[in-house]
Amino acid sequence: MLRNKKIFLLDIDGTVSVGNKVIEGTFEFLDYIVGNGGKYIFITNNSSKSIDDYVEKFNGLGFKVDESNFITASYATALYLKNNYNNNKIFVLGTKSFIEELKKFNLNITEKLEEKISCVVVAYDDELTYKKIEKICELLSKEKSVDYIATNPDLVCPVSFGFVPDCGSLCMMIENATKRKPEYIGKPNRFIIDICLDKYNCKNEDMIIIGDRLYTDILCGINTDIDTCLVLTGEAVEDDLKESKIQPKYVFNSIKELYEGLK
């Protein structure tokens, strides 16, 4: 049951906020979790910001959070690279904040076409230029032995006026040019939830993931064998549930409705 959960994994964009607007009921729900001895962790596929960026932004919006409340696709990717490419040269396409997050792990990062590159990493990049895309395509086309990973497969990212292309859309464009597909590290890869399970030493049945996307948030929970909850304030709509094989355990119109059902 929802009331018995100890760790609540919350997506951000489309779940608790859209842009700089906090979705109604979010603060009350978080207070409920803490008041009942639980813990909430924001796990986001948005790789444009570092954990420090999120802490600053969320505290500015009225949340009471610190670094322990966030695990991002950026952090998960950095940890994956540290475990697998620690002494290798890594070519990165991403924002300055994303690159700084990787450098905290003392990784050998480059944004130039150089010799002996072992891995290419693509992330959401709101500083994207066509020249950056051209570099990625050249490297992946010429160097077939170079590994190719990306932070997340999300096709769009919700913003105040609707949606903008996300990392998954960028990777589709690169695939059309190079015929290469990346390994995605963020949701629905179970790696990001495994980090939470290890960090908080909890059982799968004590945890639930709440999000607005079937193919990332909900599938991630299914892949990790934890309970799932879909909210309809972001990408997914009721018609998607009728057509998709990916089915959440719980469905609510919003975080507010979820909270009111727990009171």
What's domain 2-45+187-262's superfamily in CATH? HAD superfamily/HAD-like (3.40.50.1000)
How far are the Cα atoms of 44, 45, 62, 195, 250 from residue 204, in angstroms, in the given order? 19, 21, 30, 12, 16
pLDDT value at residue 239 = 95
pLDDT value of residue 225: 97
| Whole-number pLDDT of residue 163 | 87
pTM: 0.89
Note the pLDDT tens digit of each residue in 26-72: 999 999 999 999 999 999 998 888 899 999 999 999 999 999 999 99
Report the distance separating Cα 186 and Cα 13, nearest Å.
Answer: 14
CATH class in words for 74-184: alpha beta
Domain ranges for the chain:
2-45+187-262, 74-184
Q: Between 30 and 162, name the one with better pLDDT.
A: 30
pLDDT at 42: 98
**Does the fold of domain 74-184 match that of domain 2-45+187-262?**
yes
Residue 262 has pLDDT above 90, yes or no: no
Please report the pLDDT score of residue 208 as a whole number.
98
For the stretch 183-224, pLDDT in tens is 999 999 999 999 999 988 889 999 999 999 999 999 999 999
Q: Percent of the chain beyond pLDDT 70?
A: 100
Nearest to 86 by CA among 72, 106, 103, 100: 106
Per-residue pLDDT, 120: 98
